[in-house]
Amino acid sequence: MSIKIGILGYGNLGRGVEAAIKQNPDMVLTGVYTRRSPSDLKIKTEGVAVRHTSELEPKRGDIDVLIICGGSATDLPEMTPKYASLYNVIDSFDTHAKIPEHFANVDRAAKENGTVGIISCGWDPGMFSLNRLYAVSILPEGRDYTFWGKGVSQGHSDAIRRIEGVADARQYTIPVPEALDAVRGGKNPELTTRQKHTRDCYVVAEEGADKAEIERKIKTMPNYFSDYDTTVTFVTAEEMARDHSGLPHGGSVIYSGTTGENNRHVIEYSLNLDSNPEFTGAVLAAYARAAYRMNAESANGAKTVFDIAPAYLSQKSGDELRAHYL
């Protein structure tokens, strides 16, 4: 019997989840839900209905897990607890400072209604978090470093697009090779923000715009760019479309710790992703399976990747996993 999946929200991430479901034969997409007009939305899976979010209430029989693909700023804090009262849910909430509050809200709704709500799933938070936890649990005396990139930061790209005279922009976050080398070498360096990452910006200027002023505004923008070595390259709209249309990302969690008489161990987990939303969607699909299976065993409440035994992510039986993956 297939796990029936609903997708709420059909942006880049929702499309990534849709692509992932096609690769998992034990899952079936039963509906895509949108706050917009459903007739305006064309999805890629044949024969699957697009419905308005109002149809998510009351509880539907054709959803085992609802994968919520909304933004962390305003969508998820409201949506995830709301729908956890009806369905097993999963989200990719990534506002680190507000995770405890979000967890408590989802936990309350899920426990009252006997559902499982997995929050903050994806690769960071998500797979990177797991690797930080495994490493510090194994080597209590050590230190972790997280590097992001090379990859497109949507938030930084959007910040540039809001500058007057900018028609389009793409920002790449790039780890500084010397910093990576020092950390991989087990040197446990102290690194400033500037020493860890650089920022490369590709900008399409509107006709007649003051390029020098655009560059100045980018490089001095607080929080986003002023603490980094930033380069700005102006390109044509055609070059932007040709060279910068993908959404690659990735990065590394590197942990360096010691045991015994100063024996050093370096653990590194790295991702090199052609498509950030498709990989995140694939992580969500695997954890949706876990939500379904844990709930079938009577688990309920909010969970994170820390609370979920790895075997729950797999379609394979315990016997198969021990025989072929251990």
Phi, psi of 40, rounded to the nearest 5 degrees: -80, -10
Q: Which is nearer to its own copies, 144 or 215 (CB)?
A: 144
| CA neighbor of 87 nearest in space, from 67, 70, 69, 102 | 67
Q: Which is nearer to its own copies, 187 or 216 (CB)?
A: 187
The residue written with tokens 């649990």 in the block is 137
Q: Which is nearer to its own copies, 108 or 264 (CB)?
A: 264
Q: Which is nearer to its own copies, 164 or 307 (CB)?
A: 307
Q: How far is the CB of 133 from its own copies (least distance, A)?
A: 5
Query: CB atoms < 10 A from the CB of 99, how many?
Result: 17
Please tell me what DSSP assigns to residue 97. G
Q: How far is the CB of 194 from its own copies (least distance, A)?
A: 24
Q: Which is nearer to its own copies, 87 or 269 (CB)?
A: 269
**Segments in 139-224 forming alpha helices (H):** 154-161, 177-184, 193-196, 211-219
Q: Which is nearer to its own copies, 118 or 159 (CB)?
A: 118
Integer CA distances (angstroms), 299 to 107, 118, 148, 296, in order: 12, 12, 34, 7
Which positions lie near its own copies, rule CB under 8 A?
16, 19-20, 23-24, 96, 99-100, 103, 120, 125, 127, 129-134, 136-141, 184, 186, 259-260, 263-275, 278-279, 281-283, 286, 289, 304-311, 313-315, 318-319, 321-323, 325-326
User: What's the longest Cα–Cα distance across the chain?
Assistant: 67
Residue 239: CA atoms inside 13 Å, Cβ hemisphere, count? 10
Q: How far is the CB of 199 from its own copies (least distance, A)?
A: 23
Q: How far is the CB of 254 from its own copies (least distance, A)?
A: 9
For residue 317, count CB atoms less than 10 angstroms from its CB and return exposed for 0-12, middle for 13-18, buried for 19 or more. Answer: exposed
Q: How far is the CB of 191 from its own copies (least distance, A)?
A: 19
Q: How far is the CB of 180 from its own copies (least distance, A)?
A: 13
Q: Which is nearer to its own copies, 220 or 315 (CB)?
A: 315
What span, in angstroms and rounded, lies between the C-alpha atoms of 33 and 30? 10
Identify whether the C-beta of residue 53 lies closer than 8 Å to the C-beta of residue 8: yes
What span, in angstroms and rounded, lies between the C-alpha atoms of 110 and 88? 8
For residue 43, count CB atoms less than 10 angstroms from its CB and return exposed for 0-12, middle for 13-18, buried for 19 or more. Answer: middle
Q: How far is the CB of 21 from its own copies (least distance, A)?
A: 11
